[in-house]
Amino acid sequence: MLFYEYSFLFVFLPIVLFGYYAIPGRLRNAWLLVSSCAFYSASSFPFLPILLLSSMLDYGLGAGLCSAKTQRARRGYVSASVVLNLCVLGFFKYAGFLTSSLQSIPGLEATPILSIVLPVGISFYTFQSMSYTIDLYRGKATRARSAIDFACYVTLFPQLIAGPIVRFEEVQAQLRVRTHSARRFAEGLEFFVRGLAKKILLADTAALLCDPLFELDAPGFAAGWVSVLLYSTQIYFDFSGYSDMAVGLGKLFGFEFPQNFNSPYKASSFSDFWRRWHMTLSRWLRDNLYFPLGGNRRSSARTYVNLGATMLLGGLWHGAAWNYVVWGAYHGALLALERAVGRARDSSESSSISRRGFVFVAVSVGWVFFRCDDIAHSSRWLRSMFLMDGIGRVDVLPSVGLAALLFIVFRCKNTWEDRGNFGAWRTALLVVIFVASIVAAYGSESSPFLYFRF
């Protein structure tokens, strides 16, 4: 079930909202748990037991950690949580990739390939679930009030499938007591409608323009760059739209989720980009991988290794394919190079614009590995982009569409910067945008959110 489907908008969500506000406050977490299980089951019922078992595993290990008397025992509980969660994630997400990679090694050609269906959202909910025991171990959170509260936290449908990755410490108080108000509800609707428009009107439009270009065998320089830049806008609005919709849905039920997207293409450095793109994942990797490896507290060489390892694993988190490994290594190299040469000190406006343009172009080049099917496809696309297959040509419509989308990316404020002003004209505009999105979604073949595949 997708947030923009009519079954969600006009059946599931109204029923859940009505039930939530009709029942006593002490039962609301249980209602959200049941509703979230129904939401997940609509598309992934066979994998619901994995989601619930993962939740109960970490809840039990968290209880053991809280009652442990020695530091060694506490460390054992948190280690068990991390290892077991990563084993579950590794089996479902990487077993097929590992066995297919082994087949390419001489002497191992007979290795059977494991074809395992990836449970929807497993990359997100495993990270979120084990953050509970990690936060308990570090003293940043207290034990969940009940198994229902904890299962509600892990399965909460607004952010279950594609984030944001909400740490337990960020919502533990809200699981006990939440503030509901007309203003928060209205702000939630605003976030949701703007996210819906980003997905249906902008991201899907970019997809319609760039998908035919990616079917070309040798696009040439012009079509190569236009297609990649269009995909850059597609993934931007697609993920930004989902993040806004998740935050908006949370507000409807009294939750305040952390910001997950902050105009990343306006970043003036690669480190700034990763502070703005998928912010909750970046913080998770920083706090639970980069810092434990030593961060930048040791030698320069060790810092570069830590950056590379963190981004390499970040790439693998996104997908079990060599394309994602290369993408992670590429961003690790960009971060290491930036740190090695230092940032430009010129603070003039022209310098800022040029730095942002350079970061945007470099990040867009990296998206080639996201959009293309494999390394061979990516290599062919990069050849065209860097004038190895001629200039080529591109139609007017994709070029005009790209210009319009880039204008919105760079000249418009994001939802977090431009929210909360509920004047009559703004409310009317939101209604118009909602209706336009609903009409556009009717009968269209909108693709699932891009981050659903992770």
- The answer to whether residue 278 is catalytic is no
Question: Tokens 């506000």 sit at which residue?
Answer: 21
Half-sphere exposure of 127 (CA within 13 A, CB side): 26
Q: Tokens for 276?
A: 């703005």
Nearest-Å Rg of the Cα atoms of the chain is 23
Catalytic, out of 278, 318, 331, 377: 318
CA atoms of 165 and 82, how far apart (whole Å): 16
* Among the listed residues 367, 450, 371, the one whose alpha carbon sits nearest the alpha carbon of residue 161: 450
Nearest residue to 161 via CA among 308, 51, 17: 51
290 φ, ψ to 5°?
-65, -50
Q: How far apart are CA 36 and CA 44, in angstroms?
A: 12
398 cis-preceded (ω within 30 degrees of 0): no
Question: Residue 254 half-sphere exposure, CB side, CA atoms within 13 Å?
Answer: 17
Q: Which residues are catalytic?
A: 318
